């Protein structure tokens, strides 16, 4: 194998990693503000993936075009979920919240299984086999589009938190819950909004993911774990950390798949997680908790 092969695989890994990063960003935003560990994150992503697949197979709507509508659907879903189900749990003990979301995850996975069956579904776009040649590197067109879309969504989210009033209010909630209450912010609504934004992120990521990989109902838990691995690696609650973690894990998986066997690739992701938890528990870009 020449160096070119490694380079190609590495680039593909980074591009996939950017989509992972967007998925993990959703989780990070939810945890950073609402302080709930969304253990149904991957399952929410598979909902978005199935929406994209159905829209494509029934109406030939390209996932790239459907990015915003699907993200909007997931936004509404996330808002309803937080406002209706999770909100009463924010003062409950950690394991109680955790179990609530695990229950939700179990329901989602099996509902998808009943509706769509266990077989893998794919999106076969006209550009599925296109590629760009940049010097010695051959880049998959689908992966490039997916990564580009992930970057656009991420930038939009960063801008939202930095420049809009609501974004600033949400950050205030994250920094100081009581303070936010005192100055009269409607914390419950902001929490629902945050959960909705996190859901929209993972919705967008799921839509893009259909360009890269097949979808089966059983994928959910794997993606949930992957999102946690990424977020903890990058730093829980750190938005840039989620992206960095995503790229790192994407790259690791791709190279591990090339050097060892693709089926063992997530072992390396877990290996990284364990190392990070032990030696830098706050994550690569996280702030140290005291």
Partner 1 sequence: MAAMIARLTNGLSRRALGLLAALLAVLLAAPWIANDYLLTVLIVILYLAYTGQAWNIMMGFAGQLSLGHAIYAGLGAYIPAVLFTRYGIGPWVGFLAAIPIAALCGAIIGFLAFRFGVAGVYFAILTIAFAEFARIGFDHLTIVNASAGLFLPVAQLSHNDLWRLRGSPTKFYYVILAATVIALILSRLLLRSRMGYFWLAIREDEQAARAAGIDTFRYKMYAVMISAAVTSFAGVFYAFFYNNLFPEQVFNISRSIEMILGPIIGGIGTLFGPILGAFVLTGLAESVTSALAAFGVDLPGAKQIFYGICLLLVVVALPEGIWPWLARRLGVAERKR
What residues line the site for partner 1 (CB under 8 A)? 37, 88, 92, 94-96, 98-100, 102-107, 109-114, 118, 217, 221, 225, 228-229, 232, 261, 263-264, 266-267, 270-271, 273-274, 277-279, 281
Beta carbons within 10 angstroms of residue 172's beta carbon? 17
| Cα gap 132→142, rounded to integer Å | 10
Question: Residue 156 or residue 264: which is nearer to partner 1 going by CB?
Answer: 264
- Angle at which helices 3-34 and 219-234 cross, to 10°: 80
Q: How far is the CB of 108 from partner 1 (least distance, A)?
A: 8
- Smallest gap from residue 198 Cβ to partner 1 (A): 16
Side-chain-side CA neighbours of residue 32 (13 Å): 28
Smallest distance, partner 1 to C-beta of residue 191, A: 18
CB of 27 to partner 1, least distance (A): 12
How far apart, in whole angstroms, are the C-alpha atoms of residue 42 and residue 36? 15
Q: Which is nearer to partner 1, 208 or 231 (CB)?
A: 231
Residue 4: both structure tokens together: 């070119």
Q: Which is nearer to partner 1, 70 or 105 (CB)?
A: 105
Closer CB to partner 1, 89 or 160, in the complex: 89
Distance CA 186, CA 215 (A): 38
- Per DSSP, 85 falls in state I
Smallest gap from residue 259 Cβ to partner 1 (A) = 14
Q: What is the token pair recorded at 173?
A: 């909630």
Q: Judged by CB, which is closer to partner 1: 167, or 245?
A: 245
């Amino acid at each position: 194998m020449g160096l070119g092969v490694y380079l190609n695989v590495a680039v593909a890994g980074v591009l996939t990693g950017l989509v992972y990063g967007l998925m993990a960003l959703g989780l990070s935003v939810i945890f950073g503000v609402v302080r709930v560990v969304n253990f149904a994150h991957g399952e929410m992503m598979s909902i978005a993936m199935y929406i994209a697949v159905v829209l494509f197979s029934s109406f030939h709507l390209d996932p790239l075009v459907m990015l915003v509508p699907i993200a909007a659907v997931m936004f509404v879903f996330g808002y309803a979920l937080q406002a209706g189900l999770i909100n009463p749990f924010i003062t409950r003990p950690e394991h109680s919240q955790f179990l609530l979301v695990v229950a939700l995850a179990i329901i989602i996975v099996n509902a998808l299984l009943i509706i769509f069956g266990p077989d893998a579904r794919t999106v076969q776009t006209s550009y599925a086999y296109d590629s760009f040649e940049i010097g010695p590197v051959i880049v998959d067109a689908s992966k490039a589009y997916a990564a580009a879309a992930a970057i656009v969504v991420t930038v939009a989210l960063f801008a939202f938190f930095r420049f809009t009033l609501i974004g600033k209010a949400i950050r205030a909630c994250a920094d100081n819950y009581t303070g936010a209450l005192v100055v009269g912010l409607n914390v419950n609504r902001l929490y629902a909004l945050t959960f909705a934004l996190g859901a929209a992120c993972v919705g967008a990521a799921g839509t893009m993911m259909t360009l890269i990989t097949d979808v089966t109902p059983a994928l959910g838990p794997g993606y949930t774990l992957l999102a946690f691995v990424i977020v903890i690696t990058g730093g829980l609650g750190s938005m840039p950390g989620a992206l960095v973690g995503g790229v790192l894990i994407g790259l690791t998986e791709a190279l591990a798949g090339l050097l060892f066997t693709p089926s063992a690739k997530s072992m390396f992701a877990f290996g990284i997680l364990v190392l990070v938890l032990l030696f830098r528990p706050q994550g690569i870009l996280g702030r140290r908790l005291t």
